[in-house]
Structure 1
Amino acid sequence: MAEISSGSAQYIYVCTRMRVRRSQLIPREDYLRMLNMSLPEITRFIEDTGYKSEIDELATAFSGIDLVEVALSWNLAKEYQSILAITPGELMRFTASYLRRWDIQNVLTILRGKTQGMPAGKIREVLIPAGALDRVFLDRMLAEDSPERVVEALKGMRLYPVLEREFPRALETGSFARLENELYKGYYERLLAETKGGVKGGRVFKGYVQLEIDIRNIQNLFRLRAQPTLEDVREMMIPGGSFTVDELQRLSTAESRDEFIDGVKKQVTLPPLLNVLEDLRSERPIHEVEIALTRVQLEQMDRVSKRYPFSITPILVYLEQKKYEVANLRALARGKEAGLPGERIRSYLVM
């Protein structure tokens, strides 16, 4: 069990609260029920869960898929902000650092939307102000009249050097992939730096971050190998996990899927990940591959959180599970709106 210092009642309180909140997440059987519901029925169903206040507040301004989208975004942001408000000491520092990923997602969403000429209101609907950039600042960026002005609005902030360097290329090529990857490289580099220096809980946090890097790199390799042409992938890989960037490059050049999976398994020691990799020898759609690997990540962190019940891990597990609850509800709503069959929608759910 993680070491708990005297006077750590707040640590015990917040980790206990996370377990309570996790017990209130939507269970698998309810997702299966929603697969057989219409969009209005799904809206009523989630209104009876933890999303009632957002649905009620927004129902006069939105309807249908827009109501669901905005309510989910508002709920997730409010939930994350409430967790930060009750999290003490180093737990709050780690949690706040981890949530900065939403700054990257929000900035990229605004830049993509502005580049495509989307109305500010439509972009705002899917923003999650859960990182360091609050809703007021995000609205200021939305008010800018060009994507270049959005980048300039971030001058002096930690994302700006990468944006200044990479955004012109993204505009020129029409692809944000390299920009996004460089932003996440910086994000994970800073997360790993947070774990050093003997900070209480740093070792457990580092293990989680490294697992997340490994899963992300393996997912990217599967995705890149599915492309018609595959060149040097070093720039697309995130350093700091179990694999060196050169090892990941060598894995990308494996001639067959079996050879690729055998190479990954030689570097992996986690039994659930080994089992999933074995299951992925047969060809599957890339989203199913990514979801299978995501499940391993969540299940492993659940096991770690039970070993260290008063550490950062119960908080991180809840943050991720809540994120995927919102993603599942969004996938259900969008799938129903598009008229997709239930089995097709089910393949996109993390359950």
Structure 2
Amino acid sequence: MEVGTITAILDTTLAVIFTWVGYKTSALIYKYTPYSYPNARIRAMEARLFTEHRFGELAESKNLENFVVNLEDSDYKAYLANLGELNAETIERALDVALADTYSLMLKIMPKRVNAFFGLLLEGWDVRNITSVVKAKMMGEVARDYVVELGTMVEKVKAMAEAKTLEEILVILEGTEYEGPYQKLLLKEISLEEFETELYRLYYTKLLDYATSKKGEERVILEEFVRLSIDRLNVLTILRGKAKGLSAEKIRPSVIEGGTLKGRALETLMNVEDLSMALAELDSTKYGPLLRENREALETGDLGALEKAFDRFIMERMNELTRFYPLSVAVALNYILLKEREIRKLKAIAKLLEDGIRAEKIKEIVGEMA
């Protein structure tokens, strides 16, 4: 073979190699570089999350004035600076604004290819607010007491809470995806429970559609987060139904499609006779350890323990994914869950201080929260 031919082959081979290396490098840059800044910023925010020791110190505040003063060295200072009337409710609303800003920050700093997911997560608060307001209105309660100032429809929800009639709420919801289910509720085509399920079905369908539209590890992370959340909702719905002695036919309309528990497994769970048999059926699933950890409470019908365990399970799973995928959307999801937990605990401390509960009891209650 002539030297010129050999040189040409080598040049071609090198060109192919360099092209491949360039392509792979570009792919890695596209995949990971957009997460470098947001994840570094989130890691810095994680370092400022409260430890259990800090919650213990806050529990010893004795009153709400001291509680607010003790938060002056935290990120919550600006939110608590001008409360006007100081009580647990105004503090809760200020903390809700802080959480809303956390979601907004994720929308702003996360890569465009995933940031819309955090907008969808905010819509979950729309569903909670709408169902809470509608329930309150139908039960003759003060609806505005149930409004959490989080979500994408806060002003509409406030207007719903102040509506004079149920028909007025339909006008407020006109043009939204919630108009149809609410109209069915007014026409008594569906029950209040079915209305709530329909709203959550719309919400989780959007989340799952978005997650499954992604590729690679982004799809893996988002899809697992959504499916675990659906499992949590379904399992608690079924167990509450069985605790009340409901049949599978009564429970089935309240089950949301899309979880990891599906098909025959879900049907079997719904068709067992009572709560004990449902717990036994779940014992063979991946959620078995959660049941065994809370067996004593569950046997007395205390499903709150399982709800907390589910929350911890999802947080632990997202934390695992942050270690497996350190430059990914898992870091932001994990932080959101941690921030929500921190704010839940702060709200609880504020309410317990207002009620005059002693410090040791507050520490006990807050320590048990997910």
Interval containing the TM-score (normalised by the shorter chain): 0.7 to 0.9
- For residues 112 and 337 of structure 2, what CA distance do their matches in structure 1 show? 21
- For residues 226 and 117 of structure 1, what CA distance do their matches in structure 2 show? 27
Is the 8 Å Cα contact of residues 110 and 142 (structure 1) preserved in structure 2? yes
Structure 2 unaligned blocks of 5 or more: 1-26
Note the C-alpha offset of 1:295.
0.8
Is the 8 Å Cα contact of residues 252 and 270 (structure 2) preserved in structure 1? no
Q: Aligned with 2:246: secondary structure? A: coil
1:1-351 matched pairs, under 5 angstroms: 4-6=28-30, 9-40=33-64, 41-58=66-83, 60=84, 62-115=85-138, 116-118=140-142, 120=144, 122=145, 126-128=148-150, 130=151, 132-133=152-153, 135-166=154-185, 169=188, 176-199=192-215, 201-227=218-244, 229-232=245-248, 233-244=251-262, 247-255=265-273, 259-268=277-286, 273-284=287-298, 285-340=302-357, 342-343=360-361, 346-347=364-365, 349-351=368-370
Note the C-alpha offset of 1:137.
4.0
* Structure of higher CA gyration radius: 2
- For residues 7 and 209 of structure 1, what CA distance do their matches in structure 2 show? 22
Q: Aligned with 1:157: secondary structure? A: coil
Note the C-alpha offset of 1:263.
1.7
Q: Aligned with 2:226: secondary structure? A: helix
Aligned AA (2:180): P
Change (3 A) 1:314 1:27: same
The one-character-per-residue Cα deviations of 1:127-159 (angstroms, maximum 9, x if unpaired) are 21x3x32x4444444453334322321222122
Is the 8 Å Cα contact of residues 95 and 315 (structure 1) preserved in structure 2? no
- For residues 53 and 243 of structure 1, what CA distance do their matches in structure 2 show? 43
Aligned AA (1:219): L
- For residues 104 and 156 of structure 1, what CA distance do their matches in structure 2 show? 16
Note the C-alpha offset of 1:168.
5.0
Structure 1 unaligned blocks of 5 or more: none
The one-character-per-residue Cα deviations of 1:105-144 (angstroms, maximum 9, x if unpaired) are 2222333444435275x455x321x3x32x4444444453
Identity %: 22
- For residues 275 and 247 of structure 2, what CA distance do their matches in structure 1 show? 17
Note the C-alpha offset of 1:20.
1.9
Greater alpha carbon shift after TM alignment, 216-225 vs 303-312: 216-225
Note the C-alpha offset of 1:256.
6.3
Change (3 A) 1:139 1:212: closer
TM-score (norm. length: structure 1): 0.83
Is the 8 Å Cα contact of residues 335 and 345 (structure 1) preserved in structure 2? no
TM-score (norm. length: structure 2): 0.79
RMSD of Structure 2 on Structure 1 (CA): 2.9
**Matched pairs, number:** 334
Note the C-alpha offset of 1:299.
0.8
Is the 8 Å Cα contact of residues 154 and 160 (structure 1) preserved in structure 2? yes
Note the C-alpha offset of 1:94.
1.8
- For residues 62 and 194 of structure 2, what CA distance do their matches in structure 1 show? 38
Note the C-alpha offset of 1:206.
0.8
Change (3 A) 1:178 1:338: farther
Q: Aligned with 1:216: secondary structure? A: helix
Bigger helix share: 2
Note the C-alpha offset of 1:304.
1.0
Greater alpha carbon shift after TM alignment, 249-258 vs 14-23: 249-258
